[in-house]
Amino acid sequence: MGIIVKEDRLFLLNTRNTSYAFFRDDDGILVQLYWGKKIERPEDYDTETMVWEQGYHPAVDKKREECSSFGMMRYKEASMKFIFSDGVRDFRYRMQEYRAEGDRLDIVLQDQHYPLRVTLHYQVHEELDIIEKWREAENLGEETIGAERFFSGEFTLPGNGYRSINCNGTWADEFKGYEDTLCAGKKIYESMRGATAHVATPAFIVHQDADETRGEVWFAALAWSGNFKVIAEQTPYDYLNLQIGISDTDFCWNLKGGETFVSPRVYAGFSDEGLGKMSNILHRFAAQRVMPSASAERPLRVLYNSWEATTFQVTCEGQMELAKKAAQAGAELFVVDDGWFGQRSSDHLGLGDWYVNPEKFPEGLKPLIDCVKGLGMDFGIWIEPEMVNENSDLYRAHPDWIYRYSTRPVLEGRYQYMLDLTNPEVIRFIVDFIDRLLSENDISYIKWDMNRAMGECAAPHLEKEEYQSIWYRHVQGFYSIIEELRRRHPMVEFEACASGGGRVDFGCLSRFDEFWTSDNTDPLDRLSIQETYSLLYPPKYMRAWITDAADSADRRVPLSFKAHCAMCGSLGIGMDLNRLGEDGLAELAGYVEEYKRLRPIIQFGRLSRLQSGRKDDLYAVEYDKDGEAVLFVFLQLRPRGKYEYTVKLRNLEETAVYAVEADGRVLEKSGAYLMNHGLVLNMRADFSSKCIHLKKR
């Protein structure tokens, strides 16, 4: 049973392997009792109210609350803050009622004086070991109530000494995967850039002594693609308090009489077998509950993207040349990136003018699309709909369509301004131009980019009281556009990109088919980027290209290494194929063919991070599905005199015998041997790599 309620006060949420419990104490506060490995018997939980003696310690701070609200002598971080019209700023609630039905629990909290109701929602994904939380605030009166902080969920863990991992990074250097010990005080991960951004990921991962296969890990990921905040506070009362939700740093939602405000959802889980199991839980949940259903089942095509080959120097003939070679390499989708529209000859101009550039494509896109289709590939294109250059017809016609402060010069980022998606006219313009592009051309893939962060959150058509909600409204506008386009064009595949991995989050995961992981396509950097990415997000969504980025005057990385690295996700090619030569093209075609054979295991299988190049000489990652597995191994720099490496596999059947295809030879080994003794690999050079296929006999 997913949800058990005992004596109207104990709430026990059980999944297949985990339990999450809290109760309503005699003061009406919801207090957390447990989160971890399954304890399904409600009688085990002690629901005595903490005895509080007035003294130096505020009682509410000591309680491990399920839903804390600013005020009432709370000094820890609280998960909500409201301001009533008379200036009162604490929400004092009583639980009014609860509804438990199947896998769904709703708990209704009502202020004792003001007409404010907050409902805590829970959805238990029993088989998938995920508990989903979100909240709703409802103004039952007439006066406006300001919601200044309204997080999606609050979690606590007893004791101290926790460690926290996040995917922090920056442009072209995403997913660093830093880990810190949470000592006294607070650790905050936040984006204030209007998108999830590269600096942190909207999630928490905490543990005390876990590694890939051992130890307890608690985690949660927020389904939101804008400003977010994650706070981990080690309180003086021997517990860790974790908050996650939309950022409150510059936020206020004016909840008018009769209105409701709903928080984004947070997906939380627990693993008793380290980070590996955590990733498996999240990847499975993403595939079964979050991805658009068409995307969850459809394998992603091998794409060629011409950006790194041509940048803005796009011409119809040039693209056709590349398309011929891309088809020879085995690409299934040919993508023209930036530079095909308006007067877009560099990043200084043209954004917003979504007509096909007549000099570059005198007869429109049709000849190129026909050529691409004739070569047996589908056609895709790049857009950046939320932006405009000052030097563009769109800006000249609508200078009032951007976010700006009327008394200040407008700030540029990558020479562009941000369109005001809180304005319905702008939304209509964007939906219409993309709809037209997709209706008039045979386009089956869109790369949706976003290359600057939000800055001046003011919009000419909004009241100034609403300015602090613009961060939020922009994301809602963005979601509404992509949702409408998916409704009108259900077969089109959409990739979420924001200068690389700036929009990798569960909010985009439910509306896009894949992520552009990073603008950094050097495989030596990518290996660590991809490793950290995979902690939370599924490999199928990780677009990865084979490019020339790793090569320099004094370093050449073999094509095999580049290809194997990109084959760890959804394969793409981004190199200048004109420079590759016939032999190179044939070698590339070999990797693409191999990838297509292994694709179902890589895109739909279970991932295991076996070894990390951050700690060892090698990166090794395994994917397994239905009795088959693929193992990728990467040696960056070979230590002198070392030629052999042993890699132990993970998710095989002990007693089964596997045909192991490596280096053109087929060996037969039992699962027990492969997992306990390990596969001995000969790796003799810098940048050696292997792609090994294992199949149960």
Report CA 649 to chain centroid distance, whole Å.
27
CB atoms within 10 A of CB 651: 17
**450: annotated binding-site residue?**
yes
Q: What is the DSSP letter of 467?
A: G
Whether 326 contacts 545, CB under 8 Å: no
Residue nearer to ligand GLA on the CB measure, 282 or 497:
497
**CB 346 to ligand GLA: min, Å:** 10
In a 3-state reduction of DSSP, which class is residue 9? coil
Which of 537, 531, 504 lies closest to 198, judged by CA? 504
How near is the Cβ of 386 to ligand GLA at its closest, in Å?
13
At residue 41's C-alpha, the angle toward residues 37 and 47, to 5°, is: 95
Closest distance to ligand GLA from the beta carbon of 351 (Å): 9
Q: What is the DSSP string of 511-560?
A: T-SEEE--S---HHHHHHHHHHHHHHS-GGGEEEEE-STT-BTTB---HH
Q: Min. distance of Cβ 296 from ligand GLA in angstroms? A: 25
Residue number, 307 or 595, with CB nearest to ligand GLA: 307
Is 324 flagged in the annotation as binding? no
Residue closer to ligand GLA, measured from CB, 274 or 500:
500
Give the Cα separation of 276 and 279 in Å (integer).
Answer: 5
- Close Cβ partners of 497 (under 8 Å, ≥ 6 residues apart): 447, 448, 449, 450, 503, 515, 516
Annotation-wise, does 265 bind a ligand? no
Question: Measured from the CB of residue 556, what is the shortest distance to ligand GLA in angstroms?
Answer: 24
**CB burial readout 461-481, b (16+ within 10 A) else e:** ebeeebbbbbbbbbbebbbeb
Of 61, 505, 519, 548, catalytic = 519
| Residue 583 labeled ligand binder | no
CB of residue 449 to ligand GLA, shortest distance in Å:
5
Which residue, 70 or 516, is less far from ligand GLA as judged by CB? 516
Q: Do 382 and 365 meet the contact criterion of CB atoms below 8 Å apart? A: no
Q: State the Cα–Cα distance between residues 271 and 217, nearest whole angstrom.
A: 5
Closest-CA residue to 694 (of 646, 632, 644): 632
CB 548 within 8 A of CB 576: yes
Is 449 marked as binding a ligand?
yes
Taking the least distance from each CB to ligand GLA, the nearer of 337 and 353 is 337
What would the two tokens of residue 216 be?
A: 């307890």
- Minimal CA–CA distance to 598: which of 623, 562, 565? 623
In order of 260, 331, 339, 490, 621, the CA distances from 517 in angstroms are 35, 19, 21, 23, 18
Closer residue to ligand GLA in complex, CB, 332/338:
338
Q: Nearest distance from residue 307's CB to ligand GLA, in Å?
A: 5
- State the nearest-atom distance from the C-beta of 367 to ligand GLA, in Å: 23
Exposure letters 265-278 (e unless 16+ CB within 10 A, then b)? bbbbbbbbbbbbbb
CA distance 458 to 450: 19
Whether the CB-CB separation of 522 and 556 falls below 8 Å is answered with: no
Whether 294 contacts 341, CB under 8 Å: no
DSSP state of 43: G
By beta-carbon proximity to ligand GLA, the closer residue of 423 and 499 is: 499
Q: How far is the CB of 546 from ligand GLA (least distance, A)?
A: 15
Nearest CB to ligand GLA, comparing residues 272 and 390:
390
- The C-alpha atoms of residue 179 and residue 554 are separated, in whole angstroms, by 33
Cβ-based burial of 307 (10 A; exposed 0-12, middle 13-18, buried ≥19):
buried
By beta-carbon proximity to ligand GLA, the closer residue of 83 and 349 is 349
- 503 marked among binding-site residues: no
* C-beta of residue 190 within 8 angstroms of C-beta of residue 249: yes
Q: Residue 154 or residue 505: which is nearer to ligand GLA going by CB?
A: 505
Residue 264 DSSP code: P
What are the CA-CA distances from residue 262 to residues 65, 136, 255, 525, 666 (Å)?
20, 4, 11, 39, 56
By C-beta, is 134 or 307 nearer to ligand GLA? Answer: 307
393 is in an annotated binding site: no
d(CA 506, CA 441): 30
* Nearest distance from C-beta of residue 519 to ligand GLA, angstroms: 5
**Active-site position among 90, 129, 353, 449:** 449
Is 548 a residue of the active site? no
Residue 414 marked in a binding site: yes
Radius of gyration of the chain (CA): 26
Beta bridge partners of 303: 333, 572
Q: What is d(CA 676, CA 469) in angstroms, rounded to the nearest whole number?
A: 55
The reply, when asked if residue 686 is annotated as ligand binding, is no
Task: Give the footprint of ligand GLA on this chain (CB under 6 A).
Answer: 307, 337-338, 382, 449, 451, 497, 499-500, 516, 519
CB of 308 to ligand GLA, least distance (A): 8
* Annotated catalytic residue 180: no
Binding residues for substrate: 171, 337-338, 414, 447-451, 497, 519
Indicate which residues carry an active-site annotation. 449, 519
Q: Could you list the residues known to form a binding site, using ranges.
A: 171, 337-338, 414, 447-451, 497, 519
